[in-house]
């Protein structure tokens, strides 16, 4: 895991570095902001800097035993808590999923909650950091440091603490020397105010298109043209950008174009076959289809408003065929379908209904007819 080249966020790293070197870093820190923008990467970078045996004013050395162990997620004084689901109706420890957690982070430092729940086989379960898991956090932070420096607890997706988070108040208010609690959240308003008010809150902003484009090129995930296109479509979400560059985004585009064609020229039997094929896709690909669709609609809106040029034939066709109301209806349909799929709706039933709604949206105005 590479903690030396975190995407963007230079100003936040600079401020965290200053707080550490001046010995002013608070015991409890809350990193919050949009999905998949590097909050977990920042938390691990900060942890490595705190644990390093030979840090300088710019960064950790990256070579000492502590740095290596943090990067491998095996440091005995670095603990993690994350949303899980109960197994067999018993109190389930986060340690049950620790091997999965390490593998998931090593594979993708920018994963989101859907990736994580899929990784641990909990797609149909509600993620949660339970009261039992809060007690685990308290016990872990009460342990004596193995290597005599600091102890760090990283709580990923802290909004899943819900009301059980109150159990952590004493830990936050009466910290043991050398302990640090780093909370990471996307929906900060879901965290109890009693928790938020006792933390140093740091907003981690959306990644820039330039930063994502540069990352994709440097990692050889896309050429310059593809990287620019992906960066524009993923709106600061590096996880989506990586996924689009590695998960056959061209295939998703082709499936999307075929769906638009059914909206223009409906045919029952072929559409039922299309629905059957769509239902066989992996759930992640099904969700990706509608995320792609929302980005497509955004580009369509920009193109229709003259804010952006496009060489995409489908964009050109739909720009002429659809009015503003129809485009907004198409966006609402994508959001509705994505919402259902993320809650494990039946893809076959969903897409049968969505196809009829798509046809009704596109065929509201038949005065212009184009082929795609």
pLDDT tens digits, residue range 166-179? 999 999 999 888 99
Burial of 354 per CB tally in 10 Å (0-12, 13-18, 19+): buried
For residue 149, what is the DSSP state?
Answer: S
Neighbours of 126 (CB within 10 A): 11
Q: How far apart are CA 59 and CA 61, in angstroms?
A: 6
- Cβ–Cβ < 8 Å for 313, 256: no
Q: Who contacts 291 (Cβ-Cβ below 8 Å, separation ≥6)?
A: 240, 338
> Could you state, in order of their start, the residue ranges of all structural domains in the chain?
10-203, 247-362
pLDDT beneath 50, residues of the chain? 367-372
Q: Select from 202, 158, 185, 39 the least CA-distant residue to 105.
A: 39
**Rounded CA gap, 106 and 67, in Å?**
15
Percentages of the chain per state (helix, strand, coil), in multiples of 5:
55, 10, 35
Q: Which residues contact 117 (CB under 8 A, 6 or more apart)?
A: 83, 85, 123, 125, 127
Q: What is the pLDDT of residue 288?
A: 80
**Three-state secondary-structure class, residue 146:** coil
Structural tokens at position 143: 């342990």
Distance (Å, whole) CA 49 – CA 55: 7
Assess contact for 39 and 202: CB atoms under 8 A.
no
Cβ count within 10 A of residue 197: 9
Tokens of 156: 């990923």
Which residues contact residue 293 at a Cβ distance below 8 angstroms, ignoring those fewer than 6 apart?
256, 330, 334
Read off the tokens for 367: 């005065």
Please name the helix (run of DSSP H) or strand (run of DSSP E) that holds residue 104, with its range, or none: helix 98-107
d(CA 100, CA 83): 12
Instruction: Give the 3-state secondary structure of residue 153.
Output: strand
Residue-wise pLDDT tens digits, 291-312: 888 888 988 888 888 776 666 7
Token pair, residue 223, equals 């050429």
Contact 151, 66 (CB under 8 A): no
Maximum distance among all Cα pairs of the chain, rounded to whole angstroms: 76
Structure tokens at 197: 């008010």
Specify the DSSP class assigned to residue 95.
G
DSSP result, 281-300: S-HHHHHHHHHHHHHHHHHH
How far apart are the C-alpha atoms of 256 and 50, rounded to whole Å? 47
For 182, other C-beta atoms within 10 Å of its C-beta total: 24
Q: Tell me the CA distances in angstroms from 7 to 137, 209, 307, 359, one per residue in order.
A: 29, 11, 28, 41
Phi and psi, residue 97, nearest 5°: -110, 15
**Radius of gyration of the chain, Cα coordinates, nearest whole angstrom:** 23
- The Cα–Cα gap between 152 and 140 comes to 9
Q: Which two structure tokens, joined as six digits, stand for 168?
A: 């952590």
The CATH superfamily of 10-203 is P-loop containing nucleotide triphosphate hydrolases (3.40.50.300)
């Amino acid at each position: 895991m590479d903690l030396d080249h975190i995407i963007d966020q230079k100003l936040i790293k600079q401020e965290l570095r200053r707080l550490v070197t001046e010995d002013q870093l608070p015991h409890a820190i809350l990193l919050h902001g949009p999905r998949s923008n590097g909050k977990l990467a920042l938390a691990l970078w900060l942890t490595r800097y705190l644990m390093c045996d030979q840090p300088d004013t710019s960064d950790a050395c990256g070579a000492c035993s502590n740095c290596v162990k943090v990067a491998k997620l095996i440091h005995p004084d670095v603990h993690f808590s994350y949303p899980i689901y109960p197994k067999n109706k018993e109190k389930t420890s986060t340690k049950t999923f620790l091997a999965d957690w390490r593998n998931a982070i090593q594979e993708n430092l920018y994963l989101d909650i859907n990736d994580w729940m899929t990784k641990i086989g909990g797609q149909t379960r509600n993620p949660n950091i339970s009261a039992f898991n809060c007690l685990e956090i308290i016990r872990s932070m009460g342990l004596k440091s193995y290597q005599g420096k600091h102890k760090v607890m990283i709580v990923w997706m802290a909004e899943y603490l819900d009301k059980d988070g109150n159990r952590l108040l004493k830990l936050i208010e009466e910290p043991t020397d050398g302990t640090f609690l780093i909370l990471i959240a996307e929906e900060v308003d879901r965290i109890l105010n009693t928790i938020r008010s006792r933390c140093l809150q740091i907003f981690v902003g959306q990644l820039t298109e330039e930063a994502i484009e540069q990352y994709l090129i440097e990692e050889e995930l896309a050429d310059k043209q593809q990287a620019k296109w992906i960066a524009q479509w993923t709106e600061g979400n590096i996880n989506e950008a990586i996924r689009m560059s590695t998960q056959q985004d061209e295939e998703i585009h082709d499936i999307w174009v075929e769906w638009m064609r059914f909206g223009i020229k409906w045919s029952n039997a072929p559409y039922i076959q299309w629905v059957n094929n769509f239902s066989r896709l992996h759930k992640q690909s099904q969700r990706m289809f509608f995320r792609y669709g929302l980005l497509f609609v955004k580009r369509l809106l920009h193109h229709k408003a003259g804010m952006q040029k496009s060489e995409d034939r489908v964009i050109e066709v739909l720009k002429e065929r659809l009015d503003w109301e129809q485009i907004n209806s198409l966006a609402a349909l994508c959001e509705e379908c994505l919402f259902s799929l993320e809650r494990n709706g039946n893809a076959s039933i969903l897409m049968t209904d969505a196809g009829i709604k798509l046809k009704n949206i596109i065929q509201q105005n038949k005065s212009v007819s184009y082929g795609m």
